[in-house]
Amino acid sequence: MQAFGLDIAIVRTRAGAVYAVEGKCPHRGGPLADGLIGGTTLICPLHAWKFDLETGQALFGECGIKTYPVRVDDKGHVLLTIDKP
Ligand code: FES
């Protein structure tokens, strides 16, 4: 999704947890919304870099992706908090 000029990937794990993270991979801009999810790990669809959905930290290397606070209300609406750019 695009919000305030930001590309954000919203993902739901099999356990039902919802996360919002930067939508483009820091490696070569892979579309993280199309990535695979295993537990709380997001795998980039282009070259398989892996990121922790809780922290945004890459599982290998020192780069990471931005995470955004997100919750789902009782009506199923996804509520995302984005700091003013
Ligand atoms: S673009 Fe994501 S791992 Fe290369």
Q: Which of 52, 53, 49, 55 is nearest to 31 (CA)?
A: 49
Q: How far is the CA of 75 from the centre of ligand 1 (A)?
A: 35
Which ligand 1 atom lies nearest to the CA of residue 32?
A: 2
Query: Would you state the pLDDT for residue 85?
Result: 63
CATH topology of domain 2-80: Rieske Iron-sulfur Protein (2.102.10)
Is pTM beyond 0.75? Reply is yes
Q: Which of 21, 24, 28, 63 to mutate to test the pocket of ligand 1 (most atoms within 8 A of CB)?
A: 28
Q: Which of 7, 27, 36 to mutate to test the pocket of ligand 1 (most atoms within 8 A of CB)?
A: 27
Q: How far is the CA of 39 from the centre of ligand 1 (A)?
A: 19
Boundaries of every domain in the chain: 2-80
Phi-psi region of 40 (alpha: psi -120 to 50; beta: other; left: phi over 0): alpha
Share of the chain above pLDDT 90, in %: 84
